[in-house]
A and B are shown apart, each in its own frame.
Chain A
Amino acid sequence: MTYKHSWAGRLNEKLSLSPKALTIIAGPCMFESKELGFEVATRMKALCTELGFNYVFKSSYDKANRTSGNTARGPGLEKGLEWLADVRKQFNVPVLTDVHTPGQAREAAEVVDIVQVPAFLCDQKDLLKACAASGKTVQIKKGQHTSPEQLIACADFIAAEGNPKVLLCERGSSFGYNNLVVDYRNLVLMRRSGYATVFDGTHAAQLPGAGSGQSSGLRDMVPSLCAAAFAVGIDALFMEVHTQPEKALSDASTQVDFSTAESILRRLKALAG
């Protein structure tokens, strides 16, 4: 199977997207500690292996656009990339992180397999150009204010820069203030475009800014959102997993614990038949 511009879906030297095995991109929202990242990677890799899914580790070294300036941002670029490199080596899995400036894209690409463009910044051409030039797979989150066609145009921009390795990620659209809805038509349009399609099941459950200085969310909706996306058709599922979500330093209302993550993946396995 190949995607648009004849990309084979290869995420690194050992792992490719596959219609036979859904790819799960999962990890803690913020890389709060090396121990947290290792524990999540351990559990999620084992679960994915058991169920026959591919696994990619994700985490952020800097939550650069938080609702409030009084909240934690993460370990920072240097330490965060060091920990991501450790996860990549220890667990032999591809790793993903998000970047906010062209300079960060260049530095992160030295370590990670997938660089992610945040939703708010999905149409920033300098950032897209730097991500394209990194040579790594680029995941673009669809802005909450962005149409699917705009997102696809951003992917075309990256491809025109000479990098066809693009993942399009749906994470919900603004639906009035402090609220998101998932328009599942977008998954159809994204797939129809020929690019690989990812669904972000935990951010899609966010209620942005609704938590008095931080984003709130509807964690109980995550399993259903994920199942619906899988039913429509996706190449990968993205979700944020934490040992104790309610104590997480970011997105505490939407990250899921291991039990929920396992329940979601077993449900998808059953749906796959």
Chain B
Amino acid sequence: MKTHSPKPIPMGSCFVDAMNAQRHAKLPSTMRAPLQGQNLWRVGHPEPAQSFMERRGWLQPFCLAVTTPEQILEGSASYERLYIPGEFCRQGDVLAAAAETGKLILLERGAFLAPSDIVRAVDKLGDARERVVLVEAGSSFGYSDRVLDPRALAIMAQTGCPIALNLNPLTAAEGTSYEHRPHWLSNTDFDAAFVRTAVAFDVQFLILPTRRELNPEALEHWMSARKENQ
């Protein structure tokens, strides 16, 4: 497997999804403080979510989720970072357009993609691979469920790209209303386990849940690890 040098991105930074900012405002101040300032970044969304946020004086989104070359062209004028969702991780035109912008690219591994195959998606980015953060968001494990395979973190790290763990898809209740979804199927109790795994495998970025508060124990563990890294 080809490797290349790690990117000059600060260790231990946090991304916070746009729609979760209010949620985190409810956290105890002792927990909230480390998330303020430079560490409070958000995955952005196209209009109208963006204007919704701006009207409330929320912070500028950290990056923009993009799914077409046209969105990339338009979005790269305003955003320094682009987020390519897992479903698009192999779309040649999307990757080529993102590469041309010169922006930092967060590339999520599709739930259907073997971790070892992400290197081919990175290769499609050409020289832009020097500006890529690979995002782990879990692997498809039957219908409406994902698992975090720690091997994926290790395998993806072999590309030399920094790694982020996105807790959103891992803990989202996919298809909660579906008839065949077992009632016990929820990963929301496992925040701490996911975060501890991420820390153990040297994950450099954490993308936090959007629809609920993160388990305080998980957040505390992440912040503790950050301090030790500084």
Contact = CB atoms under 8 A, between A and B. Distances in A.
Interface of A: 64-70, 73, 100-103, 120-121, 123-124, 126, 143-150, 173-174, 177-178, 208-209, 213
A7 to B, nearest CB: 23
Contacts of A102: 68
B139 A177 contact: yes
A192 B217 CA distance: 45
Contact of B67 (A70, A124, A149, A177): A124
Given A66-B92, A73-B92, A147 B114 contact: no
B175 A149 contact: yes
30 contacts: A64-B92, A65-B90, A67-B117, A68-B124, A69-B120, A70-B123, A100-B93, A101-B68, A102-B68, A120-B87, A143-B87, A144-B140, A145-B111, A145-B140, A147-B144, A147-B174, A147-B175, A147-B181, A148-B143, A149-B175, A149-B179, A150-B144, A173-B143, A174-B111, A174-B112, A177-B114, A177-B139, A178-B117, A208-B117, A209-B117
Q: What are the 7 closest A-B residue pairs judged by CB atoms, nearest first?
A: A147-B143, A177-B114, A69-B124, A145-B140, A149-B178, A209-B117, A65-B90
Contacts of A100: 91, 93
Given A174-B140, A209-B117, A121 B87 contact: yes
B180 A149 contact: yes
B192 to A, nearest CB: 26
What is the interface of chain A mostly: helix, strand, loop, or mixed? loop
Contacts of A208: 112-114, 117
A66 B116 CA distance: 15
Interface string B174-191: 110011110000000000
A57 to B, nearest CB: 25
Given A100-B91, A177-B139, A208-B117, 7 more contacts: A64-B92, A66-B92, A120-B87, A148-B143, A149-B143, A173-B140, A208-B113
Given A147-B143, A149-B178, A150-B175, A67 B90 contact: yes
Contacts of B12: none
A150 B140 CA distance: 14
A191 to B, nearest CB: 15
Given A147-B180, A208-B114, A64 B91 contact: yes
A68 B140 contact: no
B93 A64 contact: yes
A73 B112 CA distance: 21
